[in-house]
Amino acid sequence: MIKLYDSAFSPFARKVRMTLEYKGLNYEAVDGLLKANHAALKAVNGRVEVPSLVDDGIVIVNSADIVAYLDYRYPAKRVCPDDPAARVHARAWERVADTFVDPILVNISYWKWAERLHSGGEWTNSMIHASWPSCARSASRKTPPNPCTNFPVICGRS
Ligand SMILES: N[C@@H](CCC(=O)N[C@@H](CS)C(=O)NCC(=O)O)C(=O)O
C-alpha cells in the first residue's frame, strides 16, 4: 500500500493527496509533522519534510517529483498532459502555485487564523505584486486543448 507522509497544513502535501484521490489510488496517510511520527519520517526523508511518499519500497520526496512519479507509475487518469506544449504550460502553473499562490493562501488563511505576527497585510500584498508577472505570463500562454480539463483544480480550468 502507498504510504503518504502528510500534513493538513501543507499545500505541497495537499497537491499529492489530490493526485492520489483523482487517480483513485488506495493509500495510507500519516501526519508526518506530528512529533510522534518524526523518527519515521526522518528515516525516509532526511529533510524531515512532507510530502514524502513510499510505494513498494521506493521513496519519493518533493511534491512535483511525487506527482510525476505517480503519473508515470499509474498512468490511468494522468494529471499532466501528454502534449509537450501543454505539459510545459501545466508545469509553469505548478511552479506559480508552489512559489506564490500557496504561500499567499497559507498566509491569509492558516496564519491569519492562528494570529501569527505579520500574517496578511504588507507581506501578502508584496507577494501578490511579486507573483503578478508570473501569473500573467502563465495565463497568457497559448496552449493546446488539455486532456484533463475535467479536473478543474489541477489544470486550472473550469
Ligand atoms: N519543495 C517541497 C517543499 C516541502 C515543504 O516545504 N514541506 C513543509 C511543509 S509545507 C515541511 O515539511 N516543513 C517541515 C516542518 O515544518 O517541520 C515540496 O514541493 O514538496
Q: 50: Cβ–Cβ under 8 A, 6 or more apart, which residues?
A: 5, 6, 7, 10, 12, 13, 32, 33, 41
Residues 10 and 64 in one domain: yes
| 58 beta partners | 55
Give the residue, by CA position, lying nearest to ligand 1 atom 18. Answer: 62
Give domain status of residue 79, yes or no.
Answer: no
Residues 104 and 137 in one domain: yes
Give domain status of residue 100, yes or no.
Answer: yes
Residues 62 and 99 in one domain: no
Is 157 in contact with 146 (CB distance < 8 Å)? yes
Backbone φ and ψ for 52, nearest 5 degrees, come out as: -135, 140
Give how many domains the chain has, as a whole number: 2
Output the pTM of the full model. 0.77
Residues 6 and 63 in one domain: yes
Residues 11 and 65 in one domain: yes
Q: How far is residue 8's CA from residue 14's CA, in Å, rounded to a whole number?
A: 7
Q: Which amino acid, one-letter code, is at 47?
A: R
Instruction: Please tell me the predicted confidence (pLDDT) of residue 138.
Output: 65
Q: How far is the CA of 13 from the centre of ligand 1 (A)?
A: 8
Residues 62 and 111 in one domain: no
Interval 58-111: pLDDT, tens: 999 999 999 999 999 999 999 999 999 999 999 998 998 898 888 788 777 776
Is 24 in contact with 70 (CB distance < 8 Å)? no
Give the residue, by CA position, lying nearest to ligand 1 atom 12. Answer: 49
Q: How far is the CA of 143 from the centre of ligand 1 (A)?
A: 30
Give domain status of residue 12, yes or no.
Answer: yes
**Domain with 41 in it:** 2-73
Q: Which atom of ligand 1 is nearest to the CA of 10?
A: 10
Q: How far is residue 120's CA from residue 56's CA, in Å, rounded to a whole number?
A: 41
Residues 67 and 91 in one domain: no
Interval 115-125: pLDDT, tens: 665 666 676 67
Is 120 in contact with 109 (CB distance < 8 Å)? no
Share of the chain above pLDDT 90, in %: 54
Give domain status of residue 78, yes or no.
Answer: no
Q: How far is the CA of 145 from the centre of ligand 1 (A)?
A: 32
